[in-house]
DNA sequence: CAGTGAGCGAGCTTCCGCTTGACTT
């Protein structure tokens, strides 16, 4: 007989709590939700007032049967799932599935894993809040209805295996709309004018001062006109103003802000951050990593205070209570912080150490004093012009939290105004060494990274800490978006300088717009997005989640019946589903580009069975149209007639090598060179399939042959098809287009022909028995 | 890994939010 059984969601949490509670308590974990809607036929009985059909999935059966054993053996069962909508539902499902009796079941909640908080919770048990459970059921059922009714429409009207949902479809919409802003963006330029002044200070030392003109000139003529006025002008300081200001630290990490900072500072992907954080959590080094709360426990605040006092001194301490700003936050946990703040560093791999360091610094800095900053602006008058030059400098008079941590930004701003200014006086005369006017282009809107997309979703109240990373993966897995680097463009910019009373003009080339690790929408993402917006704008709407969240809140306080809410939504939604299925045509995203000037045939771009294609000639006419695949990265959205016509120039024969033809073509995996039946990929961003020449193609073939050679560990005279190769996961055997794992005990260098044959045979046999 | 693009049809795909393993040929 067990006296007390406590059930929590996470096994790591169970371990910690068991330590606090002692031997009268057995603590088990249920690993999150233990059952979910059946996958067949929606899992909801629509005609039976939306009765959910819950089933325990296969991978949860083991956990459930173990918990059942424990529960029947226990005097009191304490349900300690999180204090939020999902946690309440988990507690309710546990009651139902484990058949718990109310008289020996208690529901308890705590927001922080400290002994006090848990003892306190046990002193204040309550029952299950059925209203809150109903709010969760409404959330669950609505998401299933939306996801499982919209997705099949896409299979029918666009392409199989696509998906749509309340969260993912909005994420894609954000990316598509941003891409359109970038496509339609027209850069304008203006001249930024910077002067370099020289003077001698009181000690006789030569000093310099850089200052920027208070305005930028939109044209070359105006810039020239201004610089002309500056020849033989006199310069005098007519103003020095200093303005004190303060900077405050950012709040402790939530899931979303941790993902953002790990991306900016450490270059981690969103899922990488989560898996490293998971390891830190499981080894007891940090608190729970899926949270939307910026709150720190009083215990933690006390330790942070001590650490700051010891490391930096009393005047660096400023204890703060942060309030969450994000919509729909449920705050079931603390903010993400080190479990033991006194530990400045930890054991672990490089990634773990770096992420821990980031969390430590952010936590500590959040409880430190404001930084005091003095901003100085020096105004310099030009005797021959109305404009002024301004020199700005910044001096940190008290570093405060900046001693530990500085939050990064997403924009790549110009390094400006950060430097200290040399000491100068009012009315001081300056000598102008030179003035440089540089043409500056306005930057286009920023593309999203994984992390900035998470930030945006959080601002909109869409998605939860546990789903940010999976959502980002889903929209990439469906092919809606791709995360990649893309090269920028080089462009000419105009430079005008005034030095030694002479004005000189020159052209400079600038490399701009290179993208690294950004999210780009694909054609299929754009087509799905446009289709959903045309037929279901109200759901793909940025405010849809906020709207239904309000209704869930009403359900949670008992003011609204959950099935009534679902019925109001579903009856109009389902009507739209039916009319869309009946009326709308198959959507191929076709766009007409114009006529081919050579043949006079019409040119279209659209989605084909295997991807986006260009079509030359109308399908109505007698002659069959020609087709050509679009190159990766080309969008139906903005491809030009000229670019489309180029595509029909492939495949091209560009010469011969070793007596065989070199053919450039475009395949499933991008542009290639074909030679003797073998394929060699062109280098992305370097080679253009339409202009590549034989020399370069031969070079590529050589590189590939060399790389293949390096992969070979062993070959056998008995059979040229059998190879021992070095691969991503270590050495393996390749035979007749199939790969085989080498047992760990065996040395790949010493494998003989018969050894390999044996491995292959053994594998093939076991493979057969499995199928 | 790599050329395709007519049309039909069976059977498959899919949501969001809680949790952790399993484990690469």
Kindly determine whether the C-beta of residue A302 is less than 7 Å away from any atom of nucleic acid strand B. no
In the prediction, which pLDDT does A717 show?
82
Can you give the distance from the CA of residue A220 to the C1' of nucleotide B5 in angstroms?
Answer: 52
Q: Does the pLDDT of residue A763 top 70, yes or no? A: no
CB within 8 A of A253, min separation 6: which ones?
A261, A335, A336, A337, A359, A362, A363
Q: CB within 8 A of A10, min separation 6: which ones?
A: A29, A31, A32, A288
| Paired tokens of A518 | 């950004």
Is A2-128 CATH 3.40.50.140? Answer: yes
Which nucleotide is closest to A628, CA to C1'? B5
Tokens for A336, please give them.
Answer: 């993400």
Positions of E strands within A219-323? 235-247
ω into residue A126 within 30 of 0, thus cis?
A: no
Q: Considering only CA atoms, which residue is closest to the C1' of nucleotide B4? A: A610
Residue nearest to nucleotide B1 (CA to C1'): A669
pLDDT at A738 over 80: no
Our measurement of CA A41 to C1' B10, in angstroms, reads 18
Better-predicted residue by pLDDT, A754 or A333: A333
Q: What is the mean pLDDT of chain A?
A: 92
Q: Check if the beta carbon of residue A523 is closer than 8 Å to that of residue A635.
A: yes
CB A536 under 7 Å to nucleic chain B: no
User: Per residue in A322-340, is it b (16+ CB within 10 Å) or e — as a string?
Assistant: bebebebbbbbbbbbbbee
The reply to whether the CB atom of residue A523 sits less than 7 A from any atom in nucleic acid chain B is no
Give the position of tokens 């560990």. Answer: A713
The Å distance, CA of A221 to C1' of B13, is 62
Q: What is the CA A152 to C1' B13 distance in angstroms?
A: 9
* Token reading at A526: 């754009």
Q: In Å, how far are A11, A321, A681 from A466, measured between CA atoms?
A: 16, 24, 38
Separation of A549 CA and B16 C1' (Å): 14
Cα–Cα distance, A308 to A314 (Å, whole number): 7
User: Which nucleotide is nearest to A727 if distance is taken from CA to C1'?
Assistant: B25
The Å distance, CA of A479 to C1' of B17, is: 23
Please give the CATH number for the structural domain made up of A160-184+444-491+511-580: 1.10.460.10
The answer to whether A681 CB sits below 7 Å from nucleic acid chain B is yes
Which one of 2.60.40.1180, 1.10.290.10, 2.30.110.10, 1.10.3720.10 gives the CATH number of domain A255-294+303-346+354-369? 1.10.290.10
Question: Residue A275: which nucleotide is closest by CA–C1'?
Answer: B20
Please list the residues that pair with A469 across neighbouring strands.
Answer: none
**pLDDT tier for residue A412 given thresholds of 50, 70 and 90:** low
Give distance CA A269 / C1' B5 (Å): 37
Cα–Cα distance for residue pair A192/A525, rounded to 1 Å: 39
Q: Which of residues 311-340 of A touch strand B (CB under 7 A)?
A: 330
Residue A205: pLDDT over 50:
yes
The pLDDT tens digits for A100-117 are 999 999 999 998 899 999
CA separation (Å) from A306 to A288, A312, A317, A342, A345? Answer: 23, 10, 9, 9, 17
Residue nearest to nucleotide B13 (CA to C1'): A161
| 3-class secondary structure per residue, A399-422 | CHHHHCCCCCCCCCCCCCCCCCCC
* CATH 3.40.50.140 intervals, chain A: 2-128
User: Cβ of A290 < 7 Å from strand B?
Assistant: yes
- A314-373 per-position pLDDT tens digit: 999 999 999 988 877 888 899 999 999 999 999 999 999 999 999 999 999 999 999 999
Residue A771's pLDDT band, with cuts at 50, 70 and 90, is very low
Q: How far is the CA of A388 from the C1' of B19 (A)?
A: 62
The structure tokens listed for A647 are 């595509």
DSSP A165: -
CATH 1.10.290.10-classified regions of chain A: 255-294+303-346+354-369
A471 nearest nucleotide via C1' and CA? B16
Percent of chain A with pLDDT over 70: 97
DSSP state of A53: -
pLDDT, average across residues A734-745: 74
A:258-277 Cβ neighbours of strand B under 7 Å = none
The answer on pLDDT for A171 being more than 90 is yes
Please check whether strand B approaches the CB of A465 to within 7 Å.
yes
CA of A683 to C1' of B1 (A): 16
A287 touches strand B (CB under 7 A): no
SS3 A384: coil
Provide the CA A141 to C1' B16 distance, Å, integer: 10
A754 CA → B3 C1’, Å? 38
Checking each nucleotide's C1' against the CA of A681, the nearest proves to be B2
* A530-556 pLDDT, tens digit each: 999 999 999 999 999 999 999 999 999
Percent of chain A residues topping a pLDDT of 90: 75
Please say if the pLDDT value at position A313 is more than 80: yes
CB proximity A288–strand B (7 Å threshold): yes
**Buried (b) or exposed (e) across A157-166, using 16+ Cβ within 10 A?**
bbbeebbbbb
Among chain A residues 150-189, those with CB within 7 Å of any atom of strand B: 151-152, 155, 160-169
**Res A546: pLDDT:** 97
Tell me the CA–C1' distance in angstroms for A519 and B10. Answer: 37
Flag residues 549-608 of A with CB < 7 Å from strand B: 608
Joined tokens for residue A672: 């290639």
Q: Which nucleotides of B are covered by protein (CB under 7 A)?
A: 1-5, 11-21, 24-25
Q: Which nucleotide is nearest to A651 (CA to C1')?
A: B3
pLDDT confidence tier of residue A73, bands split at 50, 70 and 90: very high
User: From the CA of A630, how many Å to the C1' of B3?
Assistant: 15
Please tell me the predicted confidence (pLDDT) of residue A740: 77
Q: Reply yes or no on whether the pLDDT at A410 is more than 70.
A: yes
- Is the CB of residue A473 inside 7 Å of nucleic acid strand B? no
- Is residue A274 within 8 A of residue A391, CB to CB? The reply is no
- Give CATH 1.10.460.10 domain extents, chain A: 160-184+444-491+511-580
Nearest nucleotide, CA A144 to C1': B15
Q: Which nucleotide is nearest to A670 (CA to C1')?
A: B2
Nucleotide closest in space to A35 (CA vs C1'): B18
Return chain A residues 713..732 having CB < 7 Å to nucleic acid strand B: 727-729, 732
Instruction: Answer yes or no: is A93 CB < 7 A from strand B.
Output: no
Backbone angles phi, psi at A336, to 5 degrees: -80, 120
**Residue A627, CB, less than 7 Å from strand B?**
yes
Closest CA to A256 of A319, A352, A324, A174: A324
Tell how far CA A430 is from the center of its chain: 50
Active site residues of A: 288
| Strand B lies under 7 A from the Cβ of residue A447 | no
Show contacts of A686-689: CB within 8 Å, 24+ apart: A689/A631, A689/A650, A689/A652, A689/A664, A689/A665
A479 touches strand B (CB under 7 A): no
Q: Measured between alpha carbons, how far is A233 from A609 in angstroms, rounded to an integer?
A: 69
Spatial neighbors of A631 by CB under 8 A, at least 6 apart, are: A647, A666, A670, A671, A689
Mean pLDDT of A596-613: 91
pLDDT of residue A768: 40
Could you check: is the Cβ of residue A52 within 7 Å of any atom of nucleic acid strand B?
A: no
> Closest by alpha carbon to A227, among A499, A492, A506, A507?
A499
pLDDT in tens, A415-444: 555 678 999 999 999 999 999 999 999 999
Residue A710 has pLDDT above 90, yes or no: no
What's the angle, vertex CA A385, arms to CA A384 and CA A386, rounded to 5? 140
Distance CA A291, CA A324 (A): 11
Asked if the Cβ of residue A467 lies within 7 A of any atom of strand B, the reply is yes
Helix A562-583 and helix A130-157, axial crossing angle in degrees, nearest 10: 0
Task: Tell me which of A565 and A631 has the higher pLDDT.
Answer: A565
- C-alpha neighbours within 13 Å on the C-beta side of residue A714: 19
A115: CB partners within 8 A, 6+ apart: A20
Cβ neighbours of residue A609 closer than 8 Å, sequence gap 6 or more? none
Q: What is the pTM of this model?
A: 0.91
């Amino acid at each position: 007989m067990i006296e007390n059984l406590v059930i929590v969601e996470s096994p790591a949490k169970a371990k910690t709590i068991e330590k606090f509670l002692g031997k009268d308590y057995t603590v088990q974990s249920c690993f999150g939700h233990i059952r979910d809607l059946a996958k067949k036929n929606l899992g909801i009985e629509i005609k039976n007032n939306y009765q959910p059909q819950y089933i325990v999935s296969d991978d949860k059966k083991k956990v459930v049967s173990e918990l059942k054993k424990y529960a029947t053996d226990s005097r009191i069962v304490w349900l300690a799932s999180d204090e939020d909508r999902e946690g309440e539902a988990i507690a309710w499902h546990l009651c139902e599935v484990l058949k718990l009796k109310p008289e020996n079941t208690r529901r308890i909640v705590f927001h922080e894993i400290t002994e006090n908080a848990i003892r306190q919770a046990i002193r204040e048990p309550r029952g299950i809040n059925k209203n809150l459970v109903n709010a969760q059921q409404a959330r669950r059922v609505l998401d299933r209805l939306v996801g499982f009714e919209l997705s099949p429409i896409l299979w029918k009207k666009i392409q199989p295996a696509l998906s749509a949902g309340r969260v993912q479809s909005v994420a894609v919409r954000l990316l598509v709309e941003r891409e359109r802003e970038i496509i339609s963006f027209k850069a304008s330029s203006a001249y930024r004018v910077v002067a370099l002044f020289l003077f001698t200070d009181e000690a006789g030392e030569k000093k310099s001062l850089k200052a920027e003109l208070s305005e930028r000139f939109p044209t070359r003529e105006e810039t020239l006109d201004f610089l002309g006025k500056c020849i033989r002008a006199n310069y005098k300081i007519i103003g020095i103003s200093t303005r004190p200001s303060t900077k405050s630290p950012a709040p402790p990490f939530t899931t979303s802000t941790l993902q953002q900072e790990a991306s900016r500072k450490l270059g981690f992907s969103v899922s990488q951050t989560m898996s490293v954080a998971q390891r830190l959590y499981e080894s007891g080094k940090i608190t729970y990593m899926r949270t939307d709360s910026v709150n720190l426990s009083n215990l933690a605040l006390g330790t942070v205070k001590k650490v700051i006092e010891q490391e930096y001194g009393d005047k660096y301490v400023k204890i703060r209570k942060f309030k969450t700003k994000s919509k729909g936050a449920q705050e079931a946990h603390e903010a993400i912080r080190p479990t033991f703040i006194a530990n400045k560093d930890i054991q672990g791999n490089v990634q773990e150490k770096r992420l821990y360091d980031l969390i430590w610094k952010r936590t500590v800095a959040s409880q430190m004093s404001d930084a005091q900053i003095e901003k100085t602006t020096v105004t310099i008058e030009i005797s021959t012009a109305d404009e002024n030059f301004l020199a700005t400098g910044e001096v940190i008079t008290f570093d405060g939290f900046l001693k530990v941590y500085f939050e990064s930004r997403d924009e790549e701003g110009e390094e400006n105004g950060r430097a200290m200014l040399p000491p100068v006086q009012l009315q001081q005369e300056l000598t102008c060494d030179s003035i440089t006017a540089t043409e500056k282009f306005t930057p286009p809107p920023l593309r999203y990274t994984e992390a900035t997309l998470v930030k945006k979703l959080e601002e909109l109240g869409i998605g939860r800490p546990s789903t940010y990373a999976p959502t980002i993966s889903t929209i990439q897995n469906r092919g809606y978006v791709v995360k990649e680097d893309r090269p920028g463009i080089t462009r000419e910019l105009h430079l005008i300088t005034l030095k030694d009373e002479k004005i000189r003009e020159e052209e400079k080339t600038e490399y701009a717009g290179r993208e690294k690790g950004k999210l780009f929408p694909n054609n299929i993402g754009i087509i799905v997005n446009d289709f959903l917006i045309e037929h279901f704008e109200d759901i793909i709407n940025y405010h849809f989640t906020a709207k239904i969240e309000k209704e869930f809140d009403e359900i949670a306080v008992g003011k609204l019946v959950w099935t009534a809410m679902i019925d109001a939504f579903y009856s109009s939604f389902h009507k739209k589903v039916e009319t869309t299925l009946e009326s709308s045509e198959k959507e191929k995203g076709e766009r007409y580009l114009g006529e081919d000037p050579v043949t006079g045939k019409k040119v279209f771009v659209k989605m084909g069975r295997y991807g986006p294609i260009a079509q030359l000639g109308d399908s109505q006419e007698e002659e069959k149209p020609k087709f050509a695949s679009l190159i990766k990265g080309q969008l139906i959205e903005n491809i030009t007639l000229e670019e489309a016509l180029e595509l029909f120039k492939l495949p091209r024969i560009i010469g011969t090598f070793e007596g065989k033809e070199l053919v450039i073509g475009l395949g499933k995996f991008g542009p290639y060179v074909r030679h003797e039946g073998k394929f060699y990929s062109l280098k992305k961003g370097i080679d253009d399939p339409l202009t590549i020449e034989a020399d370069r193609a031969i070079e590529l073939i050589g590189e590939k042959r060399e790389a293949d050679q390096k992969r070979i560990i062993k070959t056998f005279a008995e059979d040229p098809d059998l190879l021992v190769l070095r691969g991503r996961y270590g050495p393996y055997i390749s035979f007749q287009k199939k790969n085989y794992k080498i047992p760990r005990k065996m040395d790949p260098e010493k494998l003989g022909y018969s050894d390999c044959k044996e491995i292959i045979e053994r594998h093939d046999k076991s493979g057969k028995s499995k199928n």
